[in-house]
């Protein structure tokens, strides 16, 4: 079997994507993962190193991968008893399966010589991370619109939708980042939360809460409510991970479909087997993970069908299209970025359909 190995330098292309059952899949491809031996790895055999550090695959797989040359040290095939040394380059050549994302367009909102703004769909990561490489906003824009290079200037969680600003040059990205770090950029999100959020003329500020040891502050203003749910304008003053989600939970009005922060659904999460937030790292090729199983139904069988790509006899994910550890029980959060503004500029994104309570 002739194998063409890819590296991060290989650009994603339109034919890399397979669309099934409302999801965008990536056709599995051969990829070279590169690591450098850390001091704590030195002195271990090459097989023991992989078996202990990268637990997503069985021991026998790593034995076969070393013997067949799919795991190499400094570009050379070695024996299974080879002892690794600090700073050596280890290449792991494997058949890469990326998790699917929702099959929604990355729509371009505004195109300027040095700035591109898009509406990011929920479930799609902004840039390569964990198991995601081509199934990202940056990858899709390159494959479908030929836009490269792009430099995201702010962060949106994978499950969050809405406005994403991308600089088209590193210099422009630095200008945005300096304005954000100096507090000159105003950010606005909307969320659909549980219950009747309190209405106050001056808005509701939630601050002083430490997130990972750092003070965080968010201002909330109710836009509307039907008594069961409320649409809330969220204006983060700081920018901590999951800040809006955590602060809304503390107010007693969490995002209505946020499994991670809905305390009453903790039991459901264990039944489902995973949360959407963990899907990016579960069974990551270069992260320790425990593989869980889930019951397959007809839709999942169709998603995992091997039609449209070649089966690799050594791959631990084949013949499924999706990687092991992907449960398929996720949806986008009801949290959407609507506006960013700074010195002399404003960028906006339309409201999503769930923002209407009528």
In a domain, 75, yes or no: yes
In a domain, 122, yes or no: no
Give the integer Cα–Cα distance in Å for 23 and 13: 17
CA dihedral 38, 43, 45, 50 (to 10 degrees): -20
Please give the average per-residue pLDDT across 157-177, as a whole number.
97
Residue 77 preceded by cis peptide, ω within 30: no
Q: What whole-number distance in Å separates Cα of residue 54 and Cα of residue 149?
A: 31
Cα–Cα distance measured from residue 47 to residue 34, given in angstroms and rounded to the nearest whole number: 16
d(CA 32, CA 96): 9
- Tens-place pLDDT, residues 248-291: 999 999 999 999 898 654 334 333 333 334 433 333 455 433 22
In a domain, 306, yes or no: no
Residue 63 sits in a domain of what CATH number?
3.10.290.10
Residue 263 included in any domain? no
Question: What residues are labeled active site?
Answer: 157
pLDDT score recorded for residue 262: 86
Does any domain span residue 61? yes
Q: Which pLDDT band, with edges at 50, 70 and 90, does 182 fall under?
A: very high
Residue 65 lies inside a defined structural domain of this protein = yes
Cα 236–Cα 239–Cα 242 angle in degrees, nearest 5: 90
Nearest Cα neighbor of 12 from 145, 131, 121 is 145
Arithmetic mean of pLDDT, 143-161: 96
pLDDT above 70 coverage of the chain, percent: 83
Residue 66 lies in a domain: yes
DSSP 8-state code for residue 134: S
Question: Which candidate, 52, 6, 85, 97, places its Cα nearest to that of 310?
Answer: 97
For the chain, helix, strand, coil in percent to 5 are: 20, 30, 50
Give the residue-averaged pLDDT of 126-147.
96
Average pLDDT over residues 30-41: 94
Taking CA 193 as the corner, what is the angle to CA 190 and CA 195, rounded to the nearest 5 degrees? 140
Strands (E), the chain: 17-20, 23-26, 29-36, 71-73, 76-77, 89-96, 101-102, 107-111, 115-120, 151-152, 161-167, 186-194, 204-211, 214-225, 229-236, 335-342, 345-348
Q: How many CA atoms lie within 13 A of 88 on its CB side?
A: 23
Least confident stretch, 124-133, 162-171, 207-216, 288-297: 288-297
DSSP per residue, 299-321: HHHHHH--TTSPPPTT-SSTT-S
Q: Where are the beta strands (DSSP E) in 203-279?
A: 204-211, 214-225, 229-236
> What SS3 state is found at 127?
coil
Q: Considering the domain boundaries, does residue 87 fall inside one? A: yes
Q: 55 is written with which tokens?
A: 């637990």
Confidence of residue 200 (pLDDT cuts 50, 70, 90): confident
CB 357 within 8 A of CB 231: yes
How many structural domains compose the chain? 1
More confident residue, 262 or 193: 193
Task: Cis check for the bond before 241: say yes or no (omega within 30 of 0).
Answer: no
- Calculate what percentage of the chain has a pLDDT beyond 90: 72
Give me the domain span that covers residue 75.
Answer: 29-96
- The per-residue pLDDT for 301 is 44
This prediction has a pTM of: 0.84
The helix (run of H) or strand (run of E) holding residue 48 is helix 46-53
């Amino acid at each position: 079997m002739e194998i063409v190995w890819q590296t991060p330098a290989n650009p994603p292309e339109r034919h890399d994507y397979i669309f099934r059952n409302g999801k965008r899949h990536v056709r599995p491809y051969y990829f070279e993962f590169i690591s450098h031996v850390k001091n704590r790895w030195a002195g271990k055999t090459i097989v023991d190193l992989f078996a202990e550090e990268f637990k997503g695959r069985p021991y026998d797989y790593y034995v076969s991968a070393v013997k067949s040359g799919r795991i190499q040290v400094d570009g050379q095939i070695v024996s299974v008893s080879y002892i690794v040394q600090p700073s050596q380059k280890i290449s792991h050549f494997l058949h890469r399966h990326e998790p699917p994302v929702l099959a929604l367009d990355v729509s371009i909102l505004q195109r300027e010589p040095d700035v591109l703004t898009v509406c990011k769909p929920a479930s799609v990561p902004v840039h390569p991370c964990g198991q995601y490489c081509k199934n990202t906003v940056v990858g899709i824009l390159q494959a479908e619109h030929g836009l490269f290079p792009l430099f995201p200037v702010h962060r949106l969680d994978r499950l969050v939708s809405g406005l994403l600003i991308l600089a088209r040059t590193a210099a422009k990205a630095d200008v945005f980042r300096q304005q954000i770090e100096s507090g000159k950029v105003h950010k606005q999100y909307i969320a659909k939360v549980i219950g009747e959020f309190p209405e106050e003329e001056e808005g509701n500020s939630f601050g002083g809460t430490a997130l990972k040891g750092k003070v965080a502050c968010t201002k909330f203003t109710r836009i509307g409510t039907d008594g069961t749910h409320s649409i809330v304008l969220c204006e983060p003053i700081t920018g901590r991970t999951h800040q809006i989600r955590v602060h809304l939970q503390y107010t007693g009005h969490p995002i209505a479909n946020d499994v991670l922060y809905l305390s009453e659904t903790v039991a459901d999460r264990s039944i489902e087997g995973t949360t959407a937030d963990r899907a990016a790292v579960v069974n990551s090729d270069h992260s320790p993970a425990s593989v869980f199983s889930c019951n397959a139904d007809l839709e999942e069988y169709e998603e995992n069908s091997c039609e449209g790509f070649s089966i690799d006899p050594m791959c631990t994910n084949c013949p499924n299209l999706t990687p092991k550890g992907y449960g398929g029980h996720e949806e986008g959060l009801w949290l959407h970025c609507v506006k960013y503004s700074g010195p002399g500029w404003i960028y906006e994104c339309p409201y999503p359909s769930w923002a209407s309570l009528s």
